[in-house]
Amino acid sequence: MGATAIYPGTFDPITNGHIDILIRSLKAFDHIIVGIGPNPTKTTLFSIEERILMIKECLNSIPNVSVEVFDCLLVDFAKRKNAKVIIRGLRAISDFEYEFQMALMNRKLDSDIETVFLMPSEEYSYLTSSIIKVVGSFGGDVSSLIPKLAHEMIKNKFNKINKE
């Protein structure tokens, strides 16, 4: 396709589902920018610096991917990066309504930017960063659901929190 796409999210933490969507996106796009964006409705476990480190390290073997932080409207970020496509994952029907509304709002803000929805592999269809954090906070084994570094970081984070 010869184009750049933006894959936005909070990635707190990055999961194997995120990576699945990213790798599959590279079949259609030459370059993917993983955009770590603001979400005023979410409280994050990891700082922005920790997430940048985690994501860059977890994706360092995947070519044609970069990681950037943005603090503006997603369509404005896409314009600055000359990206005409936003990639979003749809895990379940419950995701659809929210993602549909966001895609329509983004189209209203800039009709030149399209949203492409990808479904994750079936094994990740239930997986969210929120679930990872809940299970991880109780010491549950999430090692098969997130990259090794993310697993180490989440264990360390909750060990530190539990000691306080």
pLDDT tens digits, one per residue of 98-112: 999 999 999 999 999
Asked whether the beta carbons of 157 and 56 are under 8 A apart, the reply is: no
As a whole-number percent, the residues of the chain with pLDDT over 70 amount to: 98
Task: Look at residue 66 and tell me whether its pLDDT is greater than 70.
Answer: yes
Helix/strand/coil for 75: helix
Q: What is the dihedral of CA 37, 39, 44, 46, to 10 degrees?
A: 10
25 is catalytic: no
Total residues found in the chain within this entry: 164
91 is catalytic: yes
129 is catalytic: yes
Q: Which domains does the chain have, with CATH numbers?
A: 4-125 (3.40.50.620)
- The whole-number average pLDDT for the span 21-44 is 92
80 is catalytic: no
Between 143 and 160, the higher pLDDT residue: 143
- 130 pLDDT band, cuts 50/70/90, is very high
Q: What is d(CA 163, CA 68) in angstroms, rounded to the nearest whole number?
A: 32
Vertex 27, ends 95 and 3: CA angle to 5°?
90
Identified catalytic residue from 25, 88, 129, 151: 129
Report the predicted TM-score, pTM, of the whole model to 2 decimal places. Answer: 0.93
